[in-house]
Amino acid sequence: MNEWFTHLSTLASAWLSSVLASPQQMLAHLAAAIAIGLIMAGALAKTMSPLRWLAAGSNVGLMVYGALRPSPITFCIAAVLLPVNLYRAAEVSRLTRRVRSAEAAGDSAGLWLKPYMKARKLKAGQTLFSKGDAAEHLFLLVDGELELVELGKTLEAGHIFGEIALFSPERVRTHTVRCLRAGTVLQIHDSTVRQLYFQDPAFGFHLLNLLANRLSSDVQRAQTQLQGADRDLGKIS
């Protein structure tokens, strides 16, 4: 045990002597210590953006160490990884900015969709789709007026609709939509919607927000109907 401790002390002393041998070696090992610290911080990061930036910082530290020590292998490995981490960090930053832009865009998703949509003219009294039909398109009402028949609710120009059925397990329409006043709708096929969802994070974020708002409205409407039913039962009793 004493021999092992003595050997360890000798190695530590030799390493410390090499570190203090010159300012260059001191700087090299300081850079290595910073790089190790950044690697450990990156391992604890919970999101991708800080992880990539911390990884890029550790690459720079290891490059400094590799150049001053010198350690060609360490320098080359860090030099290869640095542009990869910088590219991924910039990519995540762009993604974050696009998601924030989508959040600020509000109901302007129709502006993004129009280049991918096809126009369809509707006459007064015409049914766009019926309850139970297969859901294959997302719609944007350009002009005219539509009605959700089962709810007695009207849709006005600029309204996006039909999105819930596209993502439901049954993939069927839950309401009948009929044209009250002649107009135009733009439609986009389900396959294109899914491609945009995976390719464009801004579109995907807005679509999820749209679904959440629509489901929240449905829940509130159901609660109102239940409260009304309870009041009616109270009057009867």
pLDDT digits (tens, 9 = 90+) for 29-52: 899 999 999 999 998 987 778 889
Same domain, 34 and 140: no
Q: What is the pLDDT of residue 163?
A: 82
User: What tens digit of pLDDT does each residue of 144-164 get?
Assistant: 999 999 888 898 888 788 888
CATH of the domain at 228: 2.60.120.10
Q: What is the pLDDT of residue 21?
A: 77
Last residue of a domain, one of 104, 139, 163: 104
Task: Indicate the SS3 state at residue 133.
Answer: coil
Is 180 in the same domain as 96? Answer: no
Instruction: Look at residues 46, 77, 104 and tell me which one is the last residue of a structural domain.
Output: 104
CA separation for the pair 131, 113 (Å, rounded): 25
Same domain for 121 and 231?
A: yes
pLDDT at 209: 75
Which amino acid, residue 194? R
Query: Quick one: 90 and 150 in the same domain?
Result: no
- Residue 235 — very low, low, confident or very high, per pLDDT cuts 50/70/90? low
Please compute the mean of the pLDDT values over residues 186-199 and round it to a whole number. Answer: 83
The answer to whether residues 94 and 185 belong to one domain is no
Q: How confident is the model at residue 187, as a pLDDT?
A: 92
Tell me the residue range of the domain where 70 lies. 2-104
User: In the predicted model, is pLDDT for residue 227 greater than 60?
Assistant: yes
What is residue 184's three-state secondary structure? strand
pLDDT higher than threshold 90 for residue 127: yes
Q: Specify whether 52 is located in the same domain as 124.
A: no
- Check pLDDT > 80 for residue 213: no
Q: Residue length, the chain?
A: 237
* Whether residue 83 sits in one domain with residue 28: yes
Last residue of a domain, one of 81, 104, 127: 104
| 111 or 129, which is more confident | 129
| Same structural domain, 115 and 92 | no
Q: Bigger pLDDT: 19 or 56?
A: 56
Are residues 28 and 87 located together in one domain of the fold?
yes
Question: Stretch 12-35: mean pLDDT, rounded?
Answer: 83
Bigger pLDDT: 3 vs 58? 58
- 31 and 69 belong to one structural domain: yes
Same domain, 131 and 81: no
Question: Residue 229: its pLDDT value, please?
Answer: 63
Q: Please enumerate, as own/partner, the contacts of 205-213 that have beta carbons within 8 Å and a separation of 24 or more.
A: 205/99, 205/102, 205/103, 206/102, 206/105, 206/109, 206/112, 207/109, 207/163, 209/102, 209/103, 210/109, 210/160, 210/163, 211/163, 211/164, 211/167
> Is 130 in the same domain as 86?
no
What is the pLDDT confidence band of residue 101, given thresholds at 50, 70 and 90?
low
User: Which H helix or E strand runs over 31?
Assistant: helix 23-44
Mean pLDDT of 164-186: 90
Instruction: Count structural domains, the chain.
Output: 2
